[in-house]
Amino acid sequence: MQQPIAILDSGVGGLTVVKEVMRQLPQEKIVYFGDTARAPYGSRPAVEILLFTRQIVDYLVRFQPKMIVIACNTATAVALDTIRSQVSVPVLGVIHPGARAAIKTTRTGKVGVIGTLGTIRSGAYEHALQSISPGIEVVSTACPLLVPLVEKGLFGGKDARDVVERSLAPLREVPMDCLILGCTHYPFLSELIAEIMGPNVTLISSAEETAREASAILGHRGLLAGGKEMPEHRFFCSGDPGMFQKIAESWLHRNVHVTPFDWQIPHIV
């Protein structure tokens, strides 16, 4: 049996990481969990985010994954260290990869960060950026209205534009040459964000760098999947499976079978 890579998020945001894992590691089987019934996580207290993340990980370990990717910045900020201490496989977050990608990109040393309230309040990006490159200047803003837009599949149009514009207003005049999309949902809105921030600001998503890290760790451990057969992925979602499937299929450009998940019912694999 091929061991999967388990990837989790509060909702559809982690699909931005899934897409990169599929691109860089097409032989790898993925088990994805989107907790759409309880999204957004971003404005919830840390204890709740930790509890939810542990519940999802408890479920995903039944699939005997060879690696777990917390494809949610909010959960990474709150729960990464705890989850790492509780499971025996490598656990990746998305904040350090995002910070690394920004450091590789910035020329001016002035970096913007947008994320959920939880991520921004945690200061996790400032910490990660400064631990790699002390002296880097970081300006961050929470954009709590963006995740609900993405979960509804609203990636463009006037209403979405207005919300994105208002959310980014505090950063418009701030000098920076790159902006970290510090929430895995935000790449769904990258066209709008790019348009509003202008051509001199490069958008950074942690997806690519996270997939690269996954590849390096699995390679180092001799755990990369081989063979020519295309793996069968599994997607679980605790909320509306129809909306999840619609977003997943348009984002991943493939058919996606979604298994509904109900927290009230005990589950078997």
Q: Which residues bind ligand DGL (CB under 6 A)?
A: 9-11, 13, 39-42, 72-74, 116, 119, 147, 183-185
Catalytic residue chosen out of the listed positions 143, 178, 183, 237: 183
Residue 144 Cβ, how far from ligand DGL at the closest point, in Å? 8
Name the residue nearer to ligand DGL (CB basis): 22 or 78.
Answer: 78
Question: Catalytic: 143?
Answer: no
Residue 33 Cβ, how far from ligand DGL at the closest point, in Å? 13
Question: Catalytic: 237?
Answer: no
CA–CA dist 11, 5 (Å, integer): 17
* C-beta of residue 68 within 8 angstroms of C-beta of residue 92: yes
Q: Phi then psi for 159, rounded to 5 degrees?
A: -65, -45
CA distances to 18, 29, 106, 114 from 249, rounded to whole Å, are 12, 17, 33, 26
Name the residue nearer to ligand DGL (CB basis): 184 or 210.
Answer: 184
Name the residue nearer to ligand DGL (CB basis): 183 or 204.
Answer: 183
Name the residue nearer to ligand DGL (CB basis): 223 or 252.
Answer: 252
Residue 52 Cβ, how far from ligand DGL at the closest point, in Å? 10
Tokens read off for 235:
């997607």
Residue 107 Cβ, how far from ligand DGL at the closest point, in Å? 26
Question: What's the order of all strands across the beta sheet hosting 234-237?
Answer: 91-92, 67-70, 5-9, 30-34, 234-237, 258-260
Tokens read off for 244:
């999840």
Name the residue nearer to ligand DGL (CB basis): 119 or 202.
Answer: 119
CA–CA dist 267, 260 (Å, integer): 11
Strands (E), the chain: 5-9, 30-34, 67-70, 91-92, 110-115, 137-142, 178-181, 202-204, 234-237, 258-260
Catalytic residue chosen out of the listed positions 72, 143, 178, 237: 72
Name the residue nearer to ligand DGL (CB basis): 145 or 225.
Answer: 145
Burial class, 152, CB count within 10 angstroms (exposed 0-12 / middle 13-18 / buried 19+): exposed
Residue 261 Cβ, how far from ligand DGL at the closest point, in Å? 16
How many CB atoms neighbour CB 201 within 10 A? 20
Residue 228 Cβ, how far from ligand DGL at the closest point, in Å? 33
The catalytic site residues sit at 72, 183
